[in-house]
């Protein structure tokens, strides 16, 4: 079902690992709100990049993990959260490679390089 969730997102890197802080801003149903209600605040998901998004979703579904959330990314590609919470401490986010994804995340990464702790809000464009 479509969601009217409103979130704020902060992104950075620790080395080559992307770290996201996601804050729900309303009570609309979402995978973020659901996790807070189920377990409280804290870890939510980790991401796995794939060139074969549909095949990866099907592989997780065959293993018993439902697709809990899907989104077409404006820069191209798709992401989906597989519900792995029965066996892992959070969702597994599948991230489709291709389109402008690598270029956009490259900008995120480059914006994090050499950060001295000042000006935490930095443009990646």
Domain contains 42: yes
Domains of the chain: total: 1
Domain contains 2: no
Is the Cβ–Cβ distance between 9 and 22 less than 8 Å? yes
Beta pairing partners, 21:
10
Q: Give dist(CA 33, CA 101) in Å, integer.
A: 26
Domain contains 125: no
For the ranges 23-32, 39-48, 59-68, 103-112, the lowest mean pLDDT is seen at 103-112
Q: How far is CA 6 from the centre of its chain?
A: 15
Domain contains 119: no
Read off the pTM. Answer: 0.87
Q: Give dist(CA 111, CA 124) in Å, integer.
A: 6
The helix/strand/coil state of 79 is: strand
Domain contains 122: no
Domain contains 117: no
Domain of residue 81 covers 7-112
Q: Can you point out the beta strands (E) in 1-125?
A: 7-14, 17-24, 45-50, 67-72, 78-82, 91-96
CATH code, domain with 69: 3.10.180.10
Q: Does the structure show a pLDDT above 90 at 107?
A: no
Q: Does the structure show a pLDDT above 60 at 58?
A: yes
Q: Does the structure show a pLDDT above 70 at 123?
A: no
Domain contains 120: no
Domain contains 24: yes
């Amino acid at each position: 079902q479509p969601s009217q969730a409103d979130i704020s997102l902060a992104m950075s890197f620790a080395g080559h690992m992307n770290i996201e802080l996601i804050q729900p801003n309303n009570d609309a149903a979402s995978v973020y709100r659901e996790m807070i209600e189920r377990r409280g605040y804290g870890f939510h998901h980790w991401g796995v990049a794939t060139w074969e998004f549909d095949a990866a979703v099907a592989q997780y579904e065959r293993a018993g993990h439902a697709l809990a959330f899907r989104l077409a990314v404006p820069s191209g590609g798709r992401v989906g959260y597989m519900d792995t919470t029965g066996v892992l401490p959070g969702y597994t986010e599948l991230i489709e490679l291709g389109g402008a994804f690598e270029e956009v995340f490259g900008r995120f990464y480059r914006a994090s390089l050499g950060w001295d702790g000042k000006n935490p809000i930095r443009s990646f464009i």
